[in-house]
Structure 1
Amino acid sequence: MDYAKLLRFLNDSIDPSGKSGRHIVRFLQPSHYYEFIRQWFKYRHKYPALQSIRSSPLLQALFCPLRLQDGQMDSEPGLYVESDSTISVNSPASRTKERATEIPWGVKRIGAPEVWSVSTGHRIRIAVIDTGADYNHPDLRYSLARGIHLLNRASLPHDDNGHGTHIAGTIAAAGGAQGMIGVAPRSLIYPVKAFDHNGSAYVSDIILGIDWCIRNRMHIINMSFGMKSTSISLKNIVRKAHEAGVVIVASSGNDKKQRTADYPAKYAQTISVGATNRDGKVASFSNYGPYIDIYAPGEKITSSWLGGGHREMSGTSMATSHVSGAIALLLAARPNLTPDEIKQRLRRTARPLAGSLPRGRTRPGEVSAVRLLRAKTSRRRQS
């Protein structure tokens, strides 16, 4: 590989504003990536525009704001180039509520309070790749670790949207008598702010977030977002996280469609989550069908919001946070389970959904923290 030529080309093609488009440039050989990085540092003063490039050592990739014509880098040997697409959080509806001082219905529905005498998710590290979190919220005072702000590395990942705070509250709020309680109140949330105030991010931000999660040994990654098209680079970093033993929980999307799910939930290495309502039926907005691994409460879910308040929201995002919390309860009691074993256990112990199916057909059920923990206990008794 001609590194000098590649450095010159990237330097001349950089558009720091990002208005010309953003691209992911992945090296097919790790040795080529590391040699490029070495050359980049060696000549960084000669090519100042390259300061706009970010990199992922785990993916061996560069994230570049480039002015590229179609096919301009296709002939470059040893490189794979794709557009850096946008991705959005999955939550279609919300309304403000008064301060909550009780256990939300979804937390009760999955039976979390019934297992708190056995597990509260103590010391389980959950990364929430989202819009950040409200570090001043009373419900989250003891639930938040430092995390990372991918859009401004010098800052704490403060939430300027609300979505990430809502997700964090359902998973791990510990507000006591003056606030709400989440599914796993003694688990620890690491906010990974990849999304801006509009709830929008680039795939490259998600990749950098997953890269950070792997290196910082997260147990669970909550991904309450999705997009319609796949990304080879995103798929590869999700696979690396799975191989590292990280459990990835992703929202399936809110398109009311049967045989589909958003990416990254559609990848086999994730746990794909659909939403249910108070009646235990699939919520009207939720995707459903064979790409769903598990369902959880996702309609009219009250959780933490910006400014110390609470908000009711609906979406598969909300369902995903219930599943992440339930997995935290399980991992605190059974820390050696692999991601694949956890997915199998979730499906095997799920509560059947309300409504009938034609004879001989089965479908995923609704998550049950009680059954998850009981399955663990019964196995011990047999041994």
Structure 2
Amino acid sequence: MAMAIVLTVAPGVPALAEAPPPPPPATTTETPAPTGETPAPAEQSPAPKLEPGLAADGDGARVIVEVTAPAEAVPVAGEAQALPGAEVVLQPPDTSFIVVEGTSESLAALAQDPRVVSVRRDRTYSPVSLASGLKLIGADQAQAEGANGEGKMIAVIDTGIDRDHSALGGKVVEEACFSATDDGAKSLCPGGADTQTGQGSADAKTPMCVEGTINLCDHGTHVAGIAHAVAPGADIAAIQVFSRIDDCEGGEVCLSAYESTILLALDHVAKLKDSHPGLVAVNLSLGGGLYERACDGEPEIGAMKQKIETLRAKGVVTVAAAGNEGTSGAGAPGCISGAVTVGATGDDDRVPEWSNYGSVLDLFAPGVEVDSAVPNGGTAVYSGTSMSTPHVTGALAALAGKSADATPDALVGKLTAAGRPIVYDGVTTPRLDLYGALTGRAPSPPATQE
């Protein structure tokens, strides 16, 4: 069977992946027109359906095969399964993609099918690794005035959750798990399947989450605990998307999430919105790659961009971590313009050297030494844009609870307009101020980063 390509980083360690190579530039062919006639427009060659570089991978790859319509997924899967050196490893219902592991030859052959839109790597994503922060953003004052997210819901797409943790106040009301399996990846769904829904399906205490005395899945509970602290009245939908990898770099055990599982999770959030109209935000404290500017036009981003835009149209804001590379830019999905992208600041409103920054970001929020919940009833202090992101997710729920019929654009606009300006390198990014957004007070004076 073909080898899946898995690029992973242990939880809490910044992902240092580079942005995937861009596709080769399209070529044009011009033919001079006869004198007196208008020249014909240049014809542009179509973008290649097979991602550049895949054909050179002799060991094969795990890929997402996008098709023209959901109805074509089944016949294309049948064709893929019949190709020598190819295996269909995921065929979700009612979606316009399948996941295939195949050799370069089989993937090149599959790309020739007219029903196939693209064949590209199933990229992997990593987790991007309270009291003072809550006060800094005015969450304590907002809660005193009833802005606690009551009647609203947030979704946390992460490493699962300890639903029984006292710090979550019994607010975990929905759970799901989408966890890929292949030769190197093991499912973290409690039942061992690729997909599981219902109570307990996002359990962060399942045996596969434990390695010795370490819980590998603590990230999601920590993130959810921060969002709950900002909006304690909001319900939580926990969605596990990571897989366990036992042979990471250096022989360590780590977690990694395939893009395909994140896409399925975003689809699940869209369905949850239909049954939970109070769902206002989804938290993605994870990332992959690095983009210096908005990545909307990159071919590998198209599917996730579409999911995020669909959610926004339904009234759900996607909040994403900028990343911890300490550079200008953001990883995916934070590089997508439809997401609200969050970097980190300390209690002194200084940007730590490890936080990403720049024009791609929408907000800063506290992310330095944040104390929050971890599985089995404990707490831990972590730093990272992963910790900043749920501050904004919780703030959206709290603000939505006091802003009747506010659209996603209106809610985000209130948060960005009210935030304290952080000025650096010719860029100004507001730091979250929930109480300011709630009351409409003028932002605090700018803080200039030297």
Deviation track 1:59-106 (CA, whole Å, cap 9, x = no partner) reads: 522223334436333322131221101110100xxxxxxxxxxx5211
Matched-pair contact (CA < 8 Å) for 2:62–2:122? yes
Match of residue 288 from structure 1: 357
Matched residue, 1:108 = 135
Q: What SS is found at the alignment partner of 2:382?
A: strand
1:63 to 76, 85, 99: 99
What is the DSSP-based 3-state SS (H/G/I as helix, E as strand, rest coil) of the residue aligned with 1:288? coil
- Where is the strand percentage greater, Structure 1 or Structure 2? 2
| Residue range with higher mean Cα deviation, 260-269 or 73-82 | 73-82
- Map residues 309-348 of structure 1 onto 2, 5 A cutoff: 309-348=378-417
User: Contact (CA 8 Å) 1:124, 1:188: kept in 2 or not?
Assistant: yes
| Residue number among 132, 135, 138 corresponding to 2:160 in the alignment | 132
Using structure 2 for the length normalisation, give the TM-score.
Answer: 0.67
Please state whether the residue corresponding to 1:22 is helix, strand or coil.
strand
Q: Is 1:205 aligned to 2:261, yes or no?
A: yes
CA distance in 1: counterparts of 2:404 and 2:77, whole angstroms: 41
**Residue 443 of structure 2 corresponds to residue 373 of structure 1:** no
| Displacement of 1:302 | 0.4
Pair 1:72–1:115, CA change in 2 (3 A): same
Per-residue CA deviations over 1:113-151 (Å, capped at 9, x if unaligned) read 101122110121111000000122111241212310112
| 1:210-221 matched pairs, under 5 angstroms | 210-217=266-273, 218-221=279-282
Query: 1:256-293 CA distances to partner (integer Å, 9 max, x unpaired)?
Result: 112x1111001010001010011111122101110110
How far off is 1:203 after superposition? Answer: 0.3
Displacement of 1:357 in angstroms is: 5.5
Residues 1:90 and 2:128 aligned together: yes
User: C-alpha distance in 2, partners of 1:81/1:35?
Assistant: 15
Query: Structure 1 stretches of 5 or more lacking a match?
Result: 1-14, 92-102, 173-181, 377-383
1:164 aligns with 2:207: no
Instruction: Give the alignment's TM-score, normalised by structure 1.
Output: 0.79
Q: Does the 8 Å contact 1:56/1:62 carry over to 2? A: no
CA deviations over 1:329-349 (Å, ceiling 9, x no partner): 111111422222222222111
Structure with higher helix content? 1
Q: 3-state DSSP class of the match of 1:267?
A: coil
CA 1:299–1:89 in 2, change beyond 3 Å: closer, same or farther?
same
The equivalent position to 1:148 in structure 2, one of 151, 156, 176, is 176
Q: Structure 2 CA distance, aligned partners of 1:141 and 1:156?
A: 19
SS at match of 1:364: strand
- What amino acid maps onto 1:112 in structure 2? A
Structure 2 unaligned spans of 5+: 6-59, 180-188, 190-194, 210-216, 245-253, 274-278, 291-299, 442-450
Say which of 372, 376, 381 aligns to 1:303: 372
Cα pair 2:77 2:88 within 8 Å, conserved: no
Matches within 5 A, 1:183-262: 183-197=230-244, 198-217=254-273, 218-228=279-289, 230-258=300-328, 260-262=329-331
CA RMSD of aligned residues (A): 2.5
Give the number of aligned pairs.
327
Is the CA contact (8 Å cut-off) linking 2:73 and 2:96 kept in structure 1?
A: no
